[in-house]
Amino acid sequence: MSFLSEDLKNRIRAYLPRYPNKQAVTLPALHMVQDELRHVPREAVREIADILDLAPAEVYDTMTFYGFFREDHNKLGKTRLWVCRSLACNLRGADDLLAHFSDKLGVPPGGTTADGKITLEFAECIGACEGAPCVLVNDEHELNITNEKAEQLIAKLRS
């Protein structure tokens, strides 16, 4: 029985010509699976390995090397909210902002709200220092975040 949809498998295969070898498609494949399923199940690791002619352990090693990917027991919420903690953001209150988000969402960094809507995390840099302190909502930057803006963002993400 196949765990990944044929569409997802085909999207992974479509990356093969773009890279010098199949192993190089491991990261894009893991990202595609996590984006769709909000985690990377063990069954998906085996299927990615089959597509890329790798051992499942090679795919799993790549997956666990990065703190970005989630496993079955720790799925992402619908929205991934990253609070930047780079030097620029820290100097402008990122730690307090992270604590504020954590308090208002009722989860520690790395946690997902009970309704499964928001996963709160911190990042060392999200590349938007000009808007410090900033956050990343999935793939979108939000700049110059104050506690008031944080409250508005939470309300928007919960709706």
Tens digits of per-residue pLDDT, 17-34?
999 999 999 999 999 999
Where does a domain end: 72, 94, 123? 72
For 101, the 3-state DSSP assignment is: helix
Give 40-87 pLDDT, tens digit per residue: 999 999 999 999 999 999 999 999 998 789 998 889 999 999 999 999
**Do 80 and 153 share a domain, yes or no?**
yes
Which of 55, 126, 53 is closest to 94 using CA atoms?
Answer: 126
pLDDT at 74: 86
Residue 1 is assigned to a structural domain of this protein: no
**Do 96 and 63 share a domain, yes or no?**
no
Q: Is the pLDDT score of 1 beyond 70?
A: no
Length reported for the chain: 159
Residue 30 is assigned to a structural domain of this protein: yes
User: Could you tell me the CATH number of the domain that includes residue 119?
Assistant: 3.40.30.10
Count of domains for the chain: 2
**Do 88 and 150 share a domain, yes or no?**
yes
User: Could you tell me the CATH number of the domain that includes residue 17?
Assistant: 1.10.10.1590
Whether 153 and 137 have beta carbons less than 8 Å apart is answered as yes
pLDDT at 144: 97
**Do 138 and 108 share a domain, yes or no?**
yes
Whether 49 and 58 have beta carbons less than 8 Å apart is answered as yes
Give 89-112 pLDDT, tens digit per residue: 999 999 999 999 999 999 999 999
pLDDT at 66: 83
- Which pTM does this prediction carry? 0.80
- List beta partners, residue 136: 82, 141
- Per the structure, the complete domain to which residue 64 belongs is given by 6-72
**Do 147 and 85 share a domain, yes or no?**
yes
